[in-house]
Structure 1
Amino acid sequence: MIGRIQGVLLGKQAPQIVVDVQGVGYELLVPMTTLYQLPGLGSQVTLVTHFAVSENAQTLYGFFDKKDRELFRTLIKVSGVGPKMALAILSGMEAGQLVQCVMQDNVAALVKVPGVGKKTAERLIVELRDKLKDWQAEQSPLAAMEAASVPGVDDTNSNDIIAEAESALVALGYKPTDAAKMVTAVLKEQDVNSSEELIRRSLRSLAPA
């Protein structure tokens, strides 16, 4: 079991990152809420991890803090929810927002996550209500990022930013056409200066208020 990883951040291609630990590059899948908080390439990074083994793959998931990992592990215990769906849920909303959805029986917000139908959303609410009742919906560091102004995108990089954002959304389970619509809708309303910012704002538009 790998519970923690520390090393140099070598690559970020949402939702996957690569961390160099003494010459060995570990590939991890991370929720977007973790990706947003990572430092630049070449920086030291420490993540708590969850190691998942299936018939076809061995996958390492990374999280910025233990609370996010705990929520991920709680999600995958729900019937019909696997690691991929849990990753998509935690990418589309922060921990406090998920708790809010569950406590308010907000099925509509949950079904916006790719792969989550009405029955799965209802099951999530029923099975998570007792498990999450003691959680406190705390102000996330991402809230300050969300409120910050965003400078205009450099036209020379705009196509790459759009392509990376759409690719990441598809990797999280959204259909290519839906990913393109989400990105286009954000760009009509505001400028962005990075693919991470574009992904965050695209997902934020689907999250509960």
Structure 2
Amino acid sequence: MITFLQGTLVEALPTLVAIDVNGVGYEVMIPLSSYEKLPPPGNKVRLLTHLVVREDAHVLYGFVTTAERDLFRLLINSVSGIGPKTALNILSGMTPAAFRGAVVNGDVKALSRINGVGKKTAERIVVELKDRFGAAATWELVSAQHGLTPEEQKINDAVLALLALGFKIGQAQDVVRAAYSMLGPSASLEELVRTALKTSGK
């Protein structure tokens, strides 16, 4: 498995790059979201990669960020009928954060506007991924719509940590705020989470 490539960017097209890694040239398929973040040819570059093995070819797909690669893998592994080409189209048409928001909100219209994604595919994406994103994605989406102070961000991160442990949103908010009231603004995120867990009895 090739997990990343690091070398000199030889050529960059909106859907394809060539990278020289110690004298070996690699051709890598990329989404537009990664193309926009690339340096000019001749500069050093590092791409996270995913290798797809087909009967007729081994194809490398590259991404500038972990979020892009994670979403690509989620799409091709978890949504029936979506292959690498459609997954790249989705990444080219929508940021990972916007995609999560569209899925959580059931925004089929926004998803179906992406090139290569019709209404039926958009509906299937929502059905198959909404539960997977779950409460944590909903909470992140709501939080992202408001500017948070450092203290609010710390509380928000503690709530997300509890959601990942299986708490419901209301319960997580209550125990985190109780912990914050006990410890005060100087408490670290780890202290907040630890105290919230003790308060909840879990």
Normalised by the length of structure 2, the TM-score is 0.65
1:15 Cα offset (Å): 0.4
| SS state at 1:48 partner | strand
Map of 2:127 onto structure 1:
126
8 Å contact from structure 2 (residues 50, 62) kept in 1: yes
Matches for 1:101-140 after TM superposition, within 5 Å: 101-133=102-134, 134-135=136-137, 136=140
Aligned to 1:198: none
- Aligned-pair CA distance for 1:118: 1.5
Distance in 2, matches of 1:35 and 1:132, equals 26
> Aligned-residue CA RMSD in angstroms?
1.6
Query: Could you report, residue by residue, the CA deviation over 1:9-58 in whole angstroms, capped at 9, with x for unpaired residues?
Result: 00011200011001111010111111111111111111110000122321
Give, as a single letter, the amino acid of the residue that structure 2 aligns with 1:91: S
Give the letter for the 1:48 counterpart.
Answer: L
- Unaligned runs of 5+ residues in structure 1 are 140-209
What is the distance in 1 between the residues matched to 2:133 and 2:32?
A: 21
Larger radius of gyration: 2
Considering Cα pairs closer than 8 Å and 6+ residues apart, tell me whether 1 or 2 has the greater RCO: 1
Q: Does 1:100 align with 2:98?
A: no
**Is 2:7 aligned against 1:7?**
yes
Q: Which runs of 5+ in 2 are unaligned?
A: 145-202
Counterpart in the other structure of 1:57: 57
Q: How does 1:80-99 map to 2 (within 5 A)?
A: 80-99=81-100
Question: Aligned partners of 1:114 and 1:58: how far apart in 2?
Answer: 25
Deviation at 1:114, TM superposition (A): 2.4
Provide the TM-score with structure 1 as the length reference: 0.63
Alignment match, 1:43: 43
Q: Secondary structure at the match of 1:84?
A: helix
Q: Deviations over 1:105-140 (max 9, x none)?
A: 11111112222221111110011112223344598x
* Amino acid in the other structure paired with 1:94: T
The number of residue pairs the alignment matches comes to 139
**Which residue does the alignment assign to 2:195?**
none
Normalized per residue, the structure richer in helix is 2
**2:12 aligned counterpart, secondary structure:** strand
Distance across 2 between alignment mates of 1:131 and 1:34: 25
Q: d(CA) in 2 for partners of 1:30 and 1:86? A: 11
